[in-house]
Amino acid sequence: MSMIEFHNVQKYYGEFHALHDINLTIDTGETVVLIGPSGSGKSTLIRTVNGLERIQEGQLIVNGQDLADKKTDMNRIRKNVGMVFQHFNLYANKTILENIMLAPRLVLKRPEEENKKIAMNMLDRVGLADQAPKMPSQLSGGQQQRIAIARSLAMKPKALLFDEPTSALDPEMIDDVLNVMKDIARDSSMTMLVVTHEMGFAREVANRVIFMADGRVLEDDSKEKFFDGQPSNERARQFLSKIITH
Ligand X SMILES: Nc1ncnc2c1ncn2[C@@H]1O[C@H](COP(=O)(O)OP(=O)(O)OP(=O)(O)O)[C@@H](O)[C@H]1O
Binding site for ligand X (CB under 6 A): 13, 16, 18, 36, 38-44
Q: Name the residue nearer to ligand X (CB basis): 41 or 104.
A: 41
Q: Which residues of 202-221 are buried (b: 16+ CB within 10 A; e: fewer)?
A: bbebbbbbbbbbebbbbbbb
Task: Name the DSSP letter for residue 53.
Answer: S
Q: Name the residue nearer to ligand X (CB basis): 36 or 231.
A: 36
Q: Name the residue nearer to ligand X (CB basis): 43 or 80.
A: 43
* Position 138, amino acid: Q
Closest distance of CB 45 from ligand X, Å: 7
Closest distance of CB 136 from ligand X, Å: 24
Give the phi and the psi of residue 167 in degrees, each rounded to 5. Answer: -75, -15
CB 208 within 8 A of CB 223: yes
Q: Name the residue nearer to ligand X (CB basis): 51 or 136.
A: 51
Closest distance of CB 38 from ligand X, Å: 3
101 vs 221: CA distance, rounded Å: 38
Q: Is 228 exposed, middle or buried (0-12, 13-18, 19+ CB in 10 A)?
A: exposed
Residue (of 136, 79, 141) closest to 109 by Cα position: 79
Q: Name the residue nearer to ligand X (CB basis): 45 or 148.
A: 45
Q: How big is the CA angle at 219 (ends 218 and 225), to the nearest 5 degrees?
A: 160
Closest distance of CB 213 from ligand X, Å: 9
CB 184 within 8 A of CB 190: yes
Closest distance of CB 86 from ligand X, Å: 8
Q: Name the residue nearer to ligand X (CB basis): 45 or 132.
A: 45
Closest distance of CB 196 from ligand X, Å: 10
Taken in order 33, 5, 55, 68, is the CA torsion positive or negative?
negative
